[in-house]
């Protein structure tokens, strides 16, 4: 069926949608109120290159220091550590590498299990797999869209047991080596409760903060709350270095080890090549770090613009029954990396209808990731009951959220 045909069919059928008198067309009308009318296509999340990117990259090229050693890498790491309120940041070539290395640093080994939400981007699960470990999937709550701490606490009382080398899953006999909360779409997880659980069981806590640069939990930056954290600077993230990532930690020994392992475990020396273990070539090139410095200078503006866009969405959707724009709990302040339209009831049909109508009208909207336990390679992994995750997957639609959309609005509105 042609797109236009499907669209008109969908528009006709709207009259009989289950959501009372509300139709996918109402969503389209709301998007047209919030987003610039003159543009033919509006991306889900595009980079904003509006600062000193060209200057710094040119300076980097002129210096000849384009690879993984150079002053922009050091500067970017210092800026990141300052922004995120941690002692150390170690830049990596992408967020997945940062997560992998964070798990290695945490001592995750082959045959271990890593606790993580099923509702996450696949990198979280893949990073555990690269260690030879098995992801163990946890449910989310509707309050945060992140790991449900109450459910996790009860679950661990049931399946976990403290043993000689840590804590073990009594059902599989494997060690529970790390807990990896992910701050979904920039909304911080309930970290106090998760820290309490990590302490109760003595499990390393690693934040997957790939989506939450600039977000805070009780006033503290996301990424500063666990033992380690991973950031991403992919093209669609809050700031971008083309591709890039970072490990954050307050532990100086860990940070030194992160640098060492990400630099092929080479022992620094003027002329000899000596390596003391199997390392990785995971460092961020200087040229990407140059871009990162320019991007990070603009972070406060990006976050303000994204929050202003979120407010506009929230206002515009308050009058539409059966759905709302998700806002996290009061103790958190999200960067609103991706704005989330949340249907009050799971409805795959209506979800698809909204996606069809909006995408065919030039608004790039998307489903949330398919939950990890539904993917073929992870379907046999251990997991708790995932009722809320299953429901949320059929309730969420991600809306266009680029900083530039909010920036234009705040200028127009001022």
Ligand X SMILES: *Cc1c(COP(=O)(O)O)cnc(C)c1O
Query: Is residue 245 part of the contact set for ligand X (CB under 6 A)?
Result: yes
Compute the least distance from the CB of residue 115 to ligand X, in Å: 15
Compute the least distance from the CB of residue 181 to ligand X, in Å: 10
Nearest to ligand X by Cβ — which residue? 95
Query: Is residue 181 part of the contact set for ligand X (CB under 6 A)?
Result: no
Q: Give the C-alpha separation, 184 to 142, whole Å.
A: 11
Chain CA centroid to CA 258, Å: 21
Nearer to ligand X among residue 68 and residue 96 (C-beta): 96
User: Do 382 and 134 contact (CB within 8 A), yes or no?
Assistant: yes
Compute the least distance from the CB of residue 334 to ligand X, in Å: 14
Q: Tell me which stretch binds ligand X (CB under 6 A): 9-17, 92-100, 341-349, 390-398.
A: 92-100
Nearer to ligand X among residue 173 and residue 235 (C-beta): 235
Query: Is residue 207 part of the contact set for ligand X (CB under 6 A)?
Result: no
Compute the least distance from the CB of residue 161 to ligand X, in Å: 30
- Please state the φ and ψ torsions of residue 187, each to the nearest 5 degrees: -85, 115
Q: Give the C-alpha separation, 323 to 181, whole Å.
A: 26
Q: 352-358 — which CB contacts under 8 Å span 24+ positions?
A: 353/10, 353/13, 353/14, 353/17, 353/24, 354/24, 354/27, 354/397, 355/397, 356/6, 356/7, 356/10, 356/24, 357/7, 357/10, 357/11, 357/24, 357/25, 357/27, 357/28, 358/24, 358/27, 358/28, 358/31
Compute the least distance from the CB of residue 243 to ligand X, in Å: 6
Among 14, 94, 335, 365, binds ligand X (CB under 6 A): 94
Among 51, 70, 95, 226, binds ligand X (CB under 6 A): 95
Among 60, 182, 238, 290, binds ligand X (CB under 6 A): 182
User: Do 233 and 239 contact (CB within 8 A), yes or no?
Assistant: yes
Q: Tell me which stretch binds ligand X (CB under 6 A): 93-101, 322-330, 339-347, 382-390.
A: 93-101
Residue 163, judged by CB atoms within 10 A of its CB (0-12, 13-18, 19+), counts as exposed
Among 123, 156, 303, 338, binds ligand X (CB under 6 A): 123
Query: Is residue 146 part of the contact set for ligand X (CB under 6 A)?
Result: no
Give the residues lining the site for ligand X (CB under 6 A). Answer: 94-96, 99, 120-121, 123-124, 182, 208, 210-211, 232, 234, 245
């Amino acid at each position: 069926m042609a797109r236009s045909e499907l669209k008109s069919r969908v528009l006709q059928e709207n009259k009989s949608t289950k959501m009372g008198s509300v139709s996918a067309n109402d969503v389209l009308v709301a998007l047209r109120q919030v987003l610039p009318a003159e543009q033919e296509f509006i991306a889900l999340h595009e980079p904003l290159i509006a600062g000193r990117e060209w200057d710094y990259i040119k300076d980097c090229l002129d210096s000849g220091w384009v690879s993984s050693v150079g002053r922009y890498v050091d500067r970017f790491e210092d800026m990141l550590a300052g922004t995120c309120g941690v002692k150390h940041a170690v830049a990596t070539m992408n967020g997945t590498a940062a997560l992998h290395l964070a798990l290695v640093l945490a001592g995750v080994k082959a045959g271990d299990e890593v606790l993580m939400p099923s509702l996450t981007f696949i990198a979280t699960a893949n990073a555990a797999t690269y260690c030879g470990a098995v992801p163990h999937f946890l449910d989310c709550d509707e309050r945060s869209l992140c790991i449900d701490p109450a459910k996790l606490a009860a679950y661990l009382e049931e399946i976990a047991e403290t043993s000689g080398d840590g804590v073990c899953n009594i059902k599989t006999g494997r060690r529970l080596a790390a807990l990896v909360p992910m701050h979904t779409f920039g909304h911080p997880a309930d970290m106090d409760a998760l820290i309490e659980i990590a302490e109760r069981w003595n499990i390393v806590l690693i934040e997957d903060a790939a989506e939450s640069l600039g977000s805070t939990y009780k006033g503290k930056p996301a990424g500063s709350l666990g033992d380690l954290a991973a950031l991403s600077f992919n093209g669609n993230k809050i700031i971008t270095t083309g591709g890039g990532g970072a490990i954050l930690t307050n532990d100086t020994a860990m940070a030194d080890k992160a640098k060492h392992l990400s630099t092929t475990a080479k022992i620094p020396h003027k002329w000899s090549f000596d390596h003391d273990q199997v390392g990785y070539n995971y460092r961020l090139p200087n040229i990407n770090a140059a871009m990162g410095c320019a991007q990070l200078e603009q972070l406060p503006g990006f976050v303000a613009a994204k929050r202003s866009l979120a407010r506009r969405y929230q206002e515009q959707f308050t009058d539409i029954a059966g759905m709302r724009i998700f806002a996290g709990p009061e103790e958190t302040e999200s960067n609103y990396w991706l704005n989330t339209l949340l249907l009050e009831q799971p409805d795959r049909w209506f979800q698809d209808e909204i996606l069809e109508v909006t995408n065919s009208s030039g608004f790039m909207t998307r489903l949330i990731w398919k939950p990890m336990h539904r993917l073929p390679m992870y379907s046999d992994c251990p997991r708790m009951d995932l009722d809320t995750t299953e429901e949320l997957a059929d309730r969420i639609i991600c809306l266009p959220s680029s900083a530039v959309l909010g920036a234009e609005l705040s200028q127009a509105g001022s």
